[in-house]
Amino acid sequence: MKTQKQSAAQLLAQTQPTFNKFAIGVALMVLTTAACAGQSGPTESSKTHEMILAPDAFVAIDTPKGWVRSEGPGLAYFLREGDKPRHADVWIYVDYADTGQHAKDKDMNSFINSDIAAFKRRFKNGTVQREDPLALPRVKSQATVYSFRSGERKNAFEEIAYIGDVRHVWILALSATNRDALTSALPAFRDFVQTYGGSIIMGSPDEK
């Protein structure tokens, strides 16, 4: 199966979001779990969580607080409430890449190394830095986080959280046209990453 994924280098090179490019076959589904009888308030098991549909999987992750779903690249694309799509200076997107026996990259680490190499080939003055991992409390794991700085004036800042499963790398990214926009959105982005609740793969892991 051909991946929908764009590399960090490709996405950073865009000066404006490209709308409807990856909209085919993408849907947002809501997963609701029932509250236990007698509970006086919401708990983690009784909250409503969202699932995003990929071609061969569902990934559980919630819309960032204070942000709204919009049209844009990737499996899902979010803007701050009130921002106009073509004038936004910061956005969040979700994408993925295949890994495993039949994929270009066999695992998440291999994919990240390929992503960094592609970025450095495109942006000669760009910098990449590994950040502290983010805890994923719903799955008792961690996201691997890198920051990318292209050295260009527009669309030059990105922080990406990579999360692996048996057949994919999920790419959760915050992208901005300037440092201030990125910095102001980081708390919401990191909270968003930490809502990750795992993935459901359709078919057996060996099917491709």
User: Which of the two residues, 195 and 5, has the higher pLDDT score?
Assistant: 195
Q: How far apart are CA 100 and CA 42, in angstroms?
A: 38
pLDDT in tens, 81-119: 999 988 999 999 999 999 988 888 999 999 999 999 999
Asked whether the predicted pLDDT for residue 48 surpasses 70, the reply is no
Lowest-confidence region among 11-20, 133-142, 161-170: 11-20
Write down the mean pLDDT value for the chain: 79
Q: What is the mean pLDDT of residues 132-151?
A: 96
Q: Shortest CA distance to 200 belongs to which of 139, 113, 148? A: 139
Q: How confident is the model at residue 190 (pLDDT cuts 50, 70, 90)?
A: very high
- Residue 21's pLDDT band, with cuts at 50, 70 and 90, is very low
pLDDT, tens digit (0-9, with 9 covering 90-100), for 1-17: 334 455 554 544 443 33
Span 27-43, average pLDDT: 34
The secondary structure of 1-57 as a DSSP string is: -------HHHHHH-SS--TTTT-TT--EEEEE-PPPTT-SS--GGGSEEEEEEETTE
Q: Helix H segments across the chain?
A: 8-13, 108-122, 179-193
pLDDT level of residue 27 (50, 70, 90 thresholds): very low
Q: What percentage of the chain carries pLDDT values higher than 90?
A: 55
What is residue 43's predicted lDDT score, i.e. its pLDDT? 43
Indicate the range of 77-81, 128-132, 176-180 predicted with least confidence: 176-180
The structural domains of the chain, with segments of one domain joined by +, span 8-17+63-194
| Res. 36: pLDDT tops 70 | no
pTM metric for this prediction:
0.77
Q: What is the pLDDT of residue 136?
A: 97
Report the pLDDT value the prediction gives residue 18, as an integer from 0 to 100: 33
**3-class DSSP assignment, residue 151:** coil
- For 8-17+63-194, the fitting CATH number among 2.40.160, 3.40.1000, 3.30.160, 1.10.3470 is 3.40.1000
